[in-house]
Amino acid sequence: MRETDTEFLEGRGCPGEAIAARIPSATEAALHGLVENPACTPDQVLRILQRRPLPDPVIRRIAETHRWRRNHRIRAAVVNHPSTPTSVRLDLLGHLLWRELAQVAANPHLPPQIRRKGEHTLLLRLAGFTLGERIALARIAPRGLIGTIRTAGEPEVIGALLENPRTTEADALAIALRSRTPASLRCLAEHPAWSVHPAVRTALLGNPSLPVHVALRLLRGLRRREVQAIARRAGAPGFVVLAARRLLGECAPERAAGPEGADSPAERVDSVSGVK
């Protein structure tokens, strides 16, 4: 494409009020001209980047034009466009905002190399995040960062991570086993979705940092055979074992199991007056 081409010149000279209408049907040469048009706005460049397909040279011109390159929304749109060359993406990744990096890392339509680079770049910035930024990131973090975020000591971060749709039972289990922050463990124990997983409950009750009153509340919600297993569990915190034994001593004898071997509702340990 030569910059003396008629269509390029028409695009570059297009009046500002006519640019939006020109974008959908513009030829490649005209798009180059629109990108160079002094009247073109960032929103109009974003509309150009919404075109599918979009010629590689047009994307390169946008990425190399200083006034567009310094706009964070345009940088992010270029990186996420399916036609953007890898070299252009890698060049721009380090200039994205952290939320944009998180979106890149979670974008299944981007090559694995780009997603991993986005995760790595975000990980390098994590140490400088404020608490509010760490909380916000925990809610949307891609899989590659969840393993790092789940080691956070702040319960607010853990609470946000538990709401992340990419968080798995394995992540909740790791928090239950390894966290030494009572408030974080309480957050997990009181979460309506994760606290019902038997493996998570068992791991929580084996963690010596779990607050006593939270442990007792978990025990009261277990079925009798689950309490029996905890009462016999080697290495469980002493107060948990003692509470489990007291619960068993005050519960009625176990009734017959249901047709599939499941405990009946009557076998659930729901209230114990002797354990405070």
Q: 3-class DSSP state for residue 32? A: helix
For 268, phi then psi, to 5°, come to: -75, 140
Q: 3-class DSSP state for residue 92? A: helix
pLDDT of 60 higher than 80: yes
86 found inside a domain: no
pLDDT of 273 higher than 80: no
**Average pLDDT, integer, range 134-159:** 96
> What total number of domains does the chain contain?
1
44 found inside a domain: no
Average of per-residue pLDDT values in the chain = 90
8 found inside a domain: no
Find the domain containing 247 and state its range.
211-253+267-276
> What stretches of 38-111 show up as alpha helix (H) in DSSP?
42-49, 56-64, 66-69, 72-80, 86-93, 98-105
The pTM assigned to this predicted structure is 0.81
187 found inside a domain: no
Q: What is the dihedral of CA 58, 60, 65, 66, to 10 degrees?
A: 150
235 found inside a domain: yes
91 found inside a domain: no
141 found inside a domain: no
121 found inside a domain: no
Q: What is the DSSP letter of 89?
A: H
